[in-house]
Amino acid sequence: MIFITHSIDEAVFLSTRIFLMSVRPGQIVDEVKIDIPYPRTLETKTLPEYQEYKQTIWDHLKGEVRRQYRKGEA
């Protein structure tokens, strides 16, 4: 199943694999494998590894935006 979202939290909570995209052109540039067992509950969101996955994805997005600003394309 493919699920598309703009929510990092939702992606980490629901997925086993997350594909990260570049800003322009929109291409898949990385994959994050989420190794958190199911079933996932609200307590899952308090796990250190859950927070690490979210931070990894956030850092990727920030890097993509910064690259676009440096290019003057944002």
User: Would you say residue 22 has pLDDT above 70?
Assistant: yes
For the whole model, what pTM was predicted? 0.85
Find all residues with CB under 8 Å of 28, minimum gap 6, and list them: 19, 20, 21
pLDDT for position 74: 54
User: Would you say residue 46 has pLDDT above 80?
Assistant: yes
Average pLDDT over residues 5-28: 93
Interatomic CA distance for residues 64 and 4, integer angstroms: 18
Mean pLDDT of the chain: 92
Average pLDDT over residues 30-34: 96
Domain locations in the chain as residue ranges: 8-71
CB 47 within 8 A of CB 54: no
CB 3 within 8 A of CB 15: yes
In 10 A of CB 50, how many CB atoms? Answer: 18
pLDDT for position 73: 61
